[in-house]
Structure 1
Amino acid sequence: MDRAGTETMIMNLYRSFDRERYQFDFLVHEERACDYDGEIEQLGGRLYRLPRFNGINARSYRRAARALLAEHPEWAIVHGHIGSSAALYLREARRLGRKTVAHSHAQHFPLSAGEMAFRVVSYPTRFIADEFLACSQVAGLDRFGRGVVAGPHFHALKNGIAVERYACDAAAHGEAKRRLGLGVGPIIGHVGRLTEVKNHDFLLEVFGLLLQREPGARLVLVGRGEREDELRSLVAERGLADAVVFYGVTDDVASVLKGMDGFVFPSHREGLSVALVEAQASGVPCLMSTGVPPEALIGSSSLRLPLDAGAARWTEALLGLLATEDRRVEGALHVREAGFDIEESSRWLMGFYDDLLGRVAPRYSGASC
């Protein structure tokens, strides 16, 4: 699995779960080895692979899912995080008597042919799953509709993180910034897939304006994705190559966040970004779009702005955040108070599973991710 928000959230939960009480197996749609495969196996999980659902292979995909589920009667719960094929594998799971959970992690993206197709194939899920979870109310409404969200089988589960790992003070920030080796100017960061919905074009526009005011500024992009080559070309075209760092994927995002002076997140749409929660736990002042649900705004050093306010307004807001008094030490406290501690999230989910199974705790709880 790659380090995207959904995978990060699942792994945060998996690490903190009582694995004598519940163990996860993972149904994935990748033949290649992915970022978390080794850790999953070390923690006792097993990986199973299905061909990726593409819309025209519905019949063969359904047969493959049915056969795999039938081979594993120990999977008492099938908890689905992939929305495009959820209506298929959750239906097969229910037919075999398993408890089924559909989980929404994102709001709808801007309309496109691909997004319209996703809405069509995912729509029946709301009539199939036993229970529904989402990272925010908005993510639940967009995926499952008002009828489900207003009903007794919907719950919002916050994307918890290991808060202490991200806790930071002024001294830790200074040391982390020195380790990054990008100079004494402000370091602006972004963590997320290099994909269209993250709106990196606007981010680069904002950073370009900031650079005119702060020539020593640097932009660190943590993540990878299908737009990387395109974005590298755009950076070069705008004369930003010396100031933008494509950091790639790292197992130690916490250290990078601690070295940042500001965090900019101009996504078109988000369910509830794990990266934003992590950044705010590190006390980094965060500037985010109103495409991010208001639940993601934590503490007093963060701000939401609409994208149509324009890059100039965003730049002024970012300069304002950079000029505020250093309050990093408060970040972890605010995130914990807002209910984003992974220990709290995992305790809730284990109780949810207990209730779903009538408080029978099996060895294996299947997870499709």
Structure 2
Amino acid sequence: MLKVLHYIPGFLYGGIETMFLSWYRCIENKNVEFELLIRTQDDDATALKEYRNQNGKYYRLPTFSVKRVFDFKKQVDQFFKTHNDYDILHAHEVDPFILSSAKKHGIKKIIVHSHTTSYGSGVKNKIRFLNEQINIKIYADFAFACSKKAALWKFGSMTFKNNQVVIIHNAIMTEKYDYDEQKRSDKRNELNLKNKFVIGNIGRLTDAKNQFFLLDIFAEYLKLNKNTELLIIGDGPDEKELKEKAKNKGILEKVRFLGARNDVNELLQAIDCFVLPSKWEGLPVTLMEAQASGVACIISDIVTEEADITNNVIRISLNQSMNFWAQKLEDIRMNFIRKSTRVQIIDNGFDVSKEVLYLITKYKEVVGVD
């Protein structure tokens, strides 16, 4: 039995959490055991509640504070001193205290997993990136990434310490998202969306996801079609400012902030167009989910092209005008015909039941067992 500790500090409800939960659902009877190390203090966080409901085992560290850095380090050391029987630490974020303590206390192998292609601009983010580079070189044994673009950004090439960087697709449960006309009708009736054109966005409300730009696009599109609504699904630090912007633009009554949800698969059935104007991405799980539901997708052209696995994706530069984005939305409303894409998703390697078998194979290679 392989024992793997996953370190996901902010276990709320983003792409990494969604991916981990999909893996966790599929590992039963696979001779591998997952446990989770977090720093999230919110017991009601959607992803954590879902993990608990599946009897997932997790450990919690305190919130990191510069003022209490030595206390944090002490607690990390205490954890790994008493929990050092893992075959692998799978770190989804680079934390020098976590990596160094795991190594010191005998965790056999450390994997660092890249999920993005940027931390944004600014001195603080540049320092963070450089600090990560140092600690990856010192402590990591293997490198995983969600896409080639994410691998090149974090590791500099497709090889790491003489090993190939392993690409693990952000795969999903395809049967859960497959297009279903009855489910679509039921959800639209539940949300009072009948006969409306519905635009959707799913993700953390942060700078990377660029929802402020999305509100500008939506305001422009309302000039072409008043019978439309925007669903923003997710939570995050930008929520208050986004609501304020929607109010100031006079569109708040047309925008629904739904928060973090555990019925994303059903909401995607109700949506007519998924819009993802991100400033940077690794390989967004939400885009995989949207494509699996057969919905039309408009995304920024910075998203890695590895994410285009159906014919439903339209790429647009963030430098294009609001009117250009709005016209594309109108083209979709007038011309797009929705249908199942499940076969395409599976054929391109994004079905989690198959991808988790590949993940386990790579774990075995990491620790050198058959």
Contact 1:23-1:44 at 8 Å conserved across structures: no
Q: 1:239 offset after TM fit, Å? A: 0.7
Matched-pair identity in %: 29
Partner of 1:115: 125
Partner of 1:79: 90
Partner of 1:363: none
Change in CA separation of 1:180 and 1:150 when aligned onto 2, cut-off 3 Å: farther
Aligned positions, number:
357
1:88 is the counterpart of 2:100: no
1:295 is the counterpart of 2:303: no
Q: Give TM-score, length-normalised by structure 2.
A: 0.90
Partner of 1:12: 22
What are the within-5 Å matches in structure 2 for residues 271-290 of structure 1? 271-290=282-301
CA distance in 2, matches of 1:303, 1:149: 33
Contact 2:158-2:164 at 8 Å conserved across structures: no
Q: 1:7 offset after TM fit, Å? A: 0.9
CA distance in 2, matches of 1:333, 1:180: 29
What are the within-5 Å matches in structure 2 for residues 1-369 of structure 1? 1-18=11-28, 21-33=31-43, 34-54=45-65, 59-83=70-94, 85=95, 87-98=96-107, 99-127=109-137, 128-146=139-157, 148=159, 151-329=162-340, 331-359=341-369
State the one-letter code of the partner of 1:187: V
Change in CA separation of 1:78 and 1:150 when aligned onto 2, cut-off 3 Å: closer
Q: 1:149 offset after TM fit, Å? A: 5.5
Contact 1:207-1:219 at 8 Å conserved across structures: yes
Contact 2:142-2:160 at 8 Å conserved across structures: no
CA distance in 2, matches of 1:64, 1:121: 21
CA distances 1:68-100 after superposition (whole Å, capped 9, x unpaired)? 1120132121100123x1x33223222333211
Looking at both structures, which has the greater relative contact order when contacts are Cα pairs under 8 Å and sequence separation is at least 6?
Answer: 1
Q: 1:305 offset after TM fit, Å? A: 1.3
Change in CA separation of 1:76 and 1:51 when aligned onto 2, cut-off 3 Å: same
CA distance in 2, matches of 1:40, 1:338: 27
SS at match of 2:153: helix
SS at match of 1:326: coil
Contact 1:257-1:284 at 8 Å conserved across structures: yes
SS at match of 2:23: helix
SS at match of 1:257: helix
Which ranges in structure 2 are unaligned for 5 or more consecutive residues?
1-10
Q: 1:328 offset after TM fit, Å? A: 2.3
Change in CA separation of 1:241 and 1:124 when aligned onto 2, cut-off 3 Å: same
Which ranges in structure 1 are unaligned for 5 or more consecutive residues?
361-369
